């Protein structure tokens, strides 16, 4: 099909099968008849090519998608994590002497009490109350004013042997319970973990470090962190938001607590990722966190599975 030449421009001739001009819009198949018009046409083509190059550049920039990802960690004094550590300690003590033992150990902690139960089949013996108290003491609950104390908390145990029906299946088929798990290696950190969870763990570890060293003596064991990282494409760009909730003594005010946490906990961990201005800080956003640990919230094994993987 022939196209009509623009009015008053008879020297422009449409050609349906000519080679498309570089930089011209799709479907434009024009050639120039005279040398003057040819030069003008070349300038038009050059302008189109320049416009297209700018368009392509802007498309490239906009294609680098910006997005946010948040991961969470908890301190060793978080109630659920206390329960996890007690069950882990019981398992470690048993398999140290009986590698063939079968241990299904659950722990529940609340104000002034730890309950350890489950099914354990083993040829060795461990004193569960001593393991519980030692674990709680190592975490830092060593004062009755915390509402949970290694020396005075009640330790209840209710442990049976593994069911013979389950034992029969495990003997022949091996362990076969359900589970949820995922994992991958990432080049975002030296630890081969994604940056958000690595920073979140770094903050909770730092909270425990400055507490046990006496650097921030008003800190208490319970706490949690969240870190939001801004990505550009598939690479981390900067820390966007930091959330820290930490148990503390009643003697410290919120403004002082916030300043000390930023200086002694956040900056040493995430400082190199603070780019283009300070991130958003949410430090004890409820304003007060004096009652914590098992006194403030019951803890149970297995409720921090995601924290233990990728946050």
**105 and 120 in contact (C-beta within 8 Å)?**
yes
Residue extents of the structural domains in the chain: 66-75+191-292, 79-162
Residues in the chain, pLDDT under 50: 1-2, 5-6, 8-33, 44, 48, 51-62
**214 and 46 in contact (C-beta within 8 Å)?**
no
**103 and 109 in contact (C-beta within 8 Å)?**
no
How much is the pLDDT for 59? Answer: 38
List, in sequence order, every beta strand (DSSP E) within the chain: 12-14, 30-32, 66-74, 102-110, 113-121, 154-160, 219-232, 235-248, 280-283, 299-300
Residues in the chain, how many? 311
* Closest to 207 measured CA to CA, from 128, 292, 126, 131: 292
pTM for the model: 0.76
How much is the pLDDT for 39? Answer: 57
Indicate if 79-162 has the same CATH topology as 66-75+191-292: yes
In order of 12, 32, 134, 137, 206, the CA distances from 154 in angstroms are 97, 96, 13, 14, 30
**206 and 200 in contact (C-beta within 8 Å)?**
no
Determine the Cα angle at 20 with ends 15 and 21, to 5°.
Answer: 110
How much is the pLDDT for 42? Answer: 59
CATH architecture of the domain with residue range 66-75+191-292: 2-Layer Sandwich (3.30)
How much is the pLDDT for 195? Answer: 96
CATH architecture of the domain with residue range 79-162: 2-Layer Sandwich (3.30)
């Amino acid at each position: 099909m022939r196209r009509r030449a623009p009015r008053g421009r008879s020297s422009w001739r449409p050609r349906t099968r000519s080679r498309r001009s570089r930089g011209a819009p799709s479907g434009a198949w024009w050639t120039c008849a005279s040398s003057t018009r040819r030069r003008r046409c070349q300038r038009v083509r050059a302008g189109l090519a320049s416009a297209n190059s700018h368009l392509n550049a802007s498309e490239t920039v906009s294609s680098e998608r910006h997005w946010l990802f948040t991961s969470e960690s908890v301190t060793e004094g978080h109630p659920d994590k206390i329960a996890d550590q007690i069950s882990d300690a019981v398992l470690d003590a048993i398999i140290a002497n009986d590698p063939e033992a079968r241990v299904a150990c659950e722990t529940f902690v609340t104000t002034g009490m730890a309950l350890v139960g489950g099914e354990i089949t083993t040829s060795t013996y461990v004193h569960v109350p001593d393991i519980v108290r030692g674990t709680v003491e190592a975490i830092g609950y060593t004062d009755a004013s915390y509402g949970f104390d290694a020396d005075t908390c009640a330790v209840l145990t209710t442990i049976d042997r593994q069911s013979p029906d389950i034992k029969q299946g495990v003997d022949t088929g091996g362990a076969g319970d359900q589970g949820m798990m995922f994992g991958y290696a990432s080049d975002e950190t030296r630890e081969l973990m994604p940056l958000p969870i690595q920073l979140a763990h770094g903050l909770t570890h730092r909270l425990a470090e400055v507490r046990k060293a006496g650097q921030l003596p008003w800190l208490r064991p319970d706490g949690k962190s969240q870190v939001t990282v801004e990505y550009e494409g598939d690479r981390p760009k900067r820390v966007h938001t930091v959330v820290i909730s930490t148990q503390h003594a009643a003697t410290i005010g919120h403004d002082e607590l916030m300043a000390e946490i930023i200086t002694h906990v956040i900056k040493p961990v995430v400082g190199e990722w603070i780019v283009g201005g300070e991130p958003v800080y949410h430090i004890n956003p409820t304003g007060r966190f004096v009652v914590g640990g098992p006194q403030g919230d019951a803890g149970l094994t297995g409720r921090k599975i995601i924290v233990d993987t990728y946050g």
